[in-house]
Amino acid sequence: MNPPTVPPAARLGDFLSREIKTGELLRALVVVGPIVAAYFLTREPALLNLGLIAVSLLIPALKLRLPSKMVALHYLSILLTFGTLFLAAPIKPLFVALTALAGFLAVAVTRYGDNLRTLGNWVFIPAVYLACEVREGVSAAEALRHAGIIVATSPVALALVCGVRIYDQRRRGDAVASSYGPPSAEWFLPAAATAMAVFAAAALVELLDLAQGQWVMWSAASVIVGDLSASTGKLKQRAIGAFVGVPFGFLAGFELPVGRAGYALAVLGATLTLISFSRYIVGFGLRCFFIALAASFAGGASGIAEERVANVITGGAFGLIAVALTEIVWLRVRRKARSPG
């Protein structure tokens, strides 16, 4: 007897229900959607970058069940780090050193609770990304104007995220977290590896004046998720996502007409992938797809496939090297400590 045939629509529905975190997606739309709509109405590109701040606030707020006071502290940390890196950017050695320090602190917060790594990551990522993105290909005066608009309008992002958290607490009974996991006993090792990797990545970006260098720095920090085996696995996922997502995004953009509406929707899609998918490889692959698609709509897709993939792999390689070096040094230190004096 043949098994019952499952209709394709049902299979697709099951797949989407497994892959998409519907609750997080809807909340991200509530937070980011109005910002993208404001960009479409005003044509102010700085508002799209504001969407990154909004989703960066939302991810830890939902995952860690943060109260509004902690969301506000997170918001101030992003602005302070972004402002520091933005002002330091013209002085390349200072920018490299401060970016490495930001990477170190993003992991060092796990000393007070292992789950705080999420909070640290989502200070580091938007701050570094925006500090590079705002200055990319524009004059100092235009970059300052762009940064000023982001800072001036950023309370809107804070208000939207706090509104979502208040709604969840009142309507869904989401309790505020009483702790953020046990303190990490070995926080210094991954923090040092992250600082090393980010320092090397930022130095390479500044020395070679790489376009979209934030991808190199972001990737260098992102792959450091534990030991060398776990970090290698993370890099494989990012490499596969970039190899698949970027070319398909480029091809889709080549076939579709260039337009502001398409660009806004592609940026919205890329932002939503940061929070809406259960599996990292799916979310990252779609993020690469949407970013390549947005670049195509903006008329700047030439060479983007090679550039994005190279940046992801280069940054990830720095991360793996840093993890390997810190593990080797740590093992030697432990052996010396155990050996008789």
Mean pLDDT value across residues 124-140? 90
Q: What is the pLDDT of residue 5?
A: 60
| 196 plus 324 within the same structural domain | yes
* Contact residues for 5 (Cβ-Cβ < 8 A; gap 6+): none
Mean pLDDT value across residues 169-194? 82
Q: What is the pLDDT of residue 191?
A: 93
Question: Which tokens belong to 244?
Answer: 């698949």
Q: What is the pLDDT of residue 164?
A: 92
Instruction: Give the domain-ending residue among 150, 165, 183.
Output: 183
93 located within any domain: yes
What share of the chain in percent tops pLDDT 70?
89
| 129 plus 197 within the same structural domain | no
| 57 plus 125 within the same structural domain | yes
* pLDDT over 60 at 341, yes or no: no
1 located within any domain: no
| Phi then psi dihedrals of residue 226, to 5 deg | 155, -135
* pLDDT over 90 at 297, yes or no: no
Query: Which pLDDT band holds residue 307 (cuts at 50, 70, 90)?
Result: confident
* pLDDT over 70 at 90, yes or no: yes
Give the torsion through C-alpha atoms of 227, 229, 235, 237, to 10 deg: -120
Q: State how far the Cα of 127 lies from the Cα of 83, in Å rounded to an integer.
A: 8
* pLDDT over 80 at 108, yes or no: yes
Instruction: Give the domain-ending residue among 148, 166, 183.
Output: 183
CA proximity to 190, closest of 153, 163, 227: 227
What is the largest distance, in Å, between two alpha-carbon atoms of the chain?
75
| 103 plus 236 within the same structural domain | no
185 vs 25, residue with greater confidence: 25
Mean pLDDT value across residues 150-177? 87
pLDDT in tens, 136-152: 878 889 999 999 999 99
Spatial contact of 197 and 103, defined as CB atoms under 8 Å apart: yes
Q: What is the mean pLDDT of the chain?
A: 87
Point out the least confidently predicted range of 105-119, 123-137, 286-300.
Answer: 286-300
Q: What is the pLDDT of residue 16?
A: 67
Q: How many domains does the chain have?
A: 2
| 151 plus 278 within the same structural domain | no
Question: Which tokens belong to 42?
Answer: 């005003």
7 located within any domain: no
Give the C-alpha distances (Å, rounded to integers) separating 45 from 38, 48, 141, 282, 312.
10, 6, 15, 27, 25
16 located within any domain: no
| 119 plus 247 within the same structural domain | no
Q: Which domain holds residue 128?
A: 21-183
Q: State how far the Cα of 205 lies from the Cα of 166, in Å rounded to an integer.
A: 41
Mean pLDDT value across residues 206-225? 88
